[in-house]
Structure 1
Amino acid sequence: MNLNKRNVRTILLIITFTVVLSWLFRNLHLLPDTVGVIVGYLTPFLLGCGIAYILNLPTRFFERVLFGKPWKKKDHIRRKVKRPISLLLSFLIILGAIVSLFVILIPELINTITVLSNSIPNSFDRAQRWFDRTLSADSAFSQTLIRFGIDLDEIAGNIVVWLNGLVTDIVNATVAFSMSLFSFVFNLFLAIVFSFYIVSQKERLGNQGYRIIYAIFPPLWADRFRRFIKLANRSFSNFLSGQVVEAIIFGCLITTALAIFKFPYTILVGVLSGCFALIPVLGAWVSAIIGALLMLTIKPSTAFTFLIIFLIIQQIEGNLIYPFVVGKRVGLAPIWVLAAVVLGGALGGILGAFISIPVFSIIYELVSKLIDRRLKNRPIHANQLLVSSQIAAEHHSKSSSFINRIRFFIMRRKKMHHEKKKNDSETADDPDKQNDN
């Protein structure tokens, strides 16, 4: 083997790769912690990319609607101001929507906390009386426990120890939550700054990314990767817009139904239902549990009635409205939308259910293109693949033409009858025509 400069470099790369790979296999237990640390450092940037992607949707809309047509005079000003103004309008609209939600939710939350603070003591009193009555020495339940050798005093002591530990855990969790909340607010501020830079310089960043792709990969693979990025961007943007529309529809349906039946917490439950509906299918169940717990503080029968109404609306929305609204935007049939959500939720939980539809849409389109490309190389006529659908279409067209002929015949008979009746009435009113007859 000729050990020239190129071969030596290849050998060194293989040795380095082998050493790194062996080290990774021997230290797999360190991988989750390492990934967690890296993700923690990159959290502001990753969150900023997500915010920028969402912020780009209304920004692109305003650029197309407000600044799409060239100005007759001073068009260079239009090109300079279209991005800042569109970005500012998008940010103000999103911020206004968030502030509006808080304006609606905060009074409802205060009212809810007030009602709960008044009802919880009564609930505790009822629960305490039930426990005293059930666990009294003369009760049948206590006699049954004694018969099986179960010590009630020991159980009560264990419950007290568990409650003391629970209080300590709650205090520690509160302190940890306060610290994580401060960190989240700081990261969110940095993410918003990142998102503004990303959206304002998206063309430049995109060009730099494409330069890197074409520098690393062969032109054929780079072209495929570029088409894949465009496909993924289209699928995710269509999915997000459809998901927002669906969440608004679901929140309005829940609010309207609760208002019609005069349920308490109407605005609060409706807004929460709309917010949680951003999580496909699974979000509705979370809002149902929260709403049922709130209704339970009023009366158990109220919670039961709420669950029935909620389930009816959720079934209508989940099986009829959601697949058509979101599926139409991402190019999937309703059955594939439901299958994607169920499979994504089973594999990845809430995050899996959220991204399952756009991911399935990408896979569906790639597989469809692959099948079309393979069928072009097969000696199969297109009619062989469309026999059943053509027969159905021809049958439908024949049935439609037959029905149309019947309708035309009926309309023609009605018109002739109307004209004859009109002529008879004119003849009866005109004496000259009667004499002629």
Structure 2
Amino acid sequence: MFICIHAILTKGMNAPRNLRKTTLRLYPTLKQEAALHALLRSHQQLYNAALEERIDCYRKTGESLTFAAQCKSLTALRKQCPEWAEAANCSSQQMTLRRLDKAFAAFFRRVKAGQAPGFPRFKSLARFPGFSFKGHGDGWRFTPGADWRHGTLRLSGVGHLRARGNARQGGDVRASDVLHRDGKWYLSLTLDIGTPQRERTGNAAMAFDWGVQTFFTGVDHAGEELRLDNPRWWQTEKDHIIGLQQAVSRKRNKRSNRRRKAVQRLASARAKTARRRLDWAHKETAKLAGRFALVATEGLRIANMTRSACGTMEEPRKNVAQKAGLNREILDTAPALFTSLLRCKVLETGGEWVEAPTLKLKPSQRCPACWALAKKSLSMRTHTCAQCGYTEPRDLASARVVLNWALGTQNGQELAGIGARGRPCETPSFAQQRVE
């Protein structure tokens, strides 16, 4: 049984808090699996045809096709070609066109921002993740079991499929995605859960600092230290995954059955590692959210932290291999995933989530005792203040700085100008001047 409850909001951080996703494993029969593959193939062909239509339209007219125009073309196509009307539900086909429209919107956004454009490309069947449905009852219906444990999915043209999984909290079904990964089928449901149900036993305040050597270093308002060791998922599974990658590389014929099976084994191993990472993150964030009413951390920009060190041909940089290894270790810890899960769980308990302005506050460079700033290289893992002599592990000192800033206090004294949660106090002070 596979179950993965996404605590990440379905439309990003600004989405309503009552929308959540839950994923269940589908168990189709051989006949149903053939029908699902046919559905997947029809959506993949529709996506590629719509992409080709947009490219041809721009080449001939210099204008881009809109989502509404392609929906009209789809309606005409379904009338002229009955096989397209029988292949899939109309609203589901519109969701595939919407996926392409989002890909083009992201492409134009990156062009305007001066980033690598990444033009939408044609999808092979192996790279097409699945298809979506919107209105519940429009070509599909999900019937959950008792207490939202397992259930049954009815798909038009496919039949009733067994679904296994257990949602932590049920709700009204809004939309769904049928996904095909590593030879298995999954159902991702979007639920309106109403009021989130998560209990909190403590009312303490806590701040934490993320790192690679020690994954989580935190401190609460009473001075108690909290630590989580880095599980190092890649290092644990490295030998096994590298062996599977080499097995795929040795099979030169890309259409052979042996290579296909080797690719499936590699994908399954990577998926298992991802599931272990997600499961660990869910459990640890649930424990923390149940203890603390206020959680503070500094804002992280993972994309900036994991930039390549290659440089250019004219100006090549040094320590490229070392930076690549550091980037791999950073991404292996998935700090953005852990932070987003913890944020959602804290808010579900009615707690407060505080994110400190890293560039202004500079937690890793600031002394939590006297608030003095002193530049430290990444290799310096111990904070030693030259002004007051305060000594502490660097990550712990950084977490203490963030906690002091979030509470608006330093050594029990009010931090005027840097109030709780960043709200300015009435009178300025040296602390405000140093941060700004």
TM over 0.5: no
TM-score w.r.t. length of structure 2:
0.23
**Larger radius of gyration, structure 1 or 2?**
1
Which has more strand, going by share of residues? Answer: 2
Which has more helix, going by share of residues? Answer: 1
TM-score w.r.t. length of structure 1:
0.23
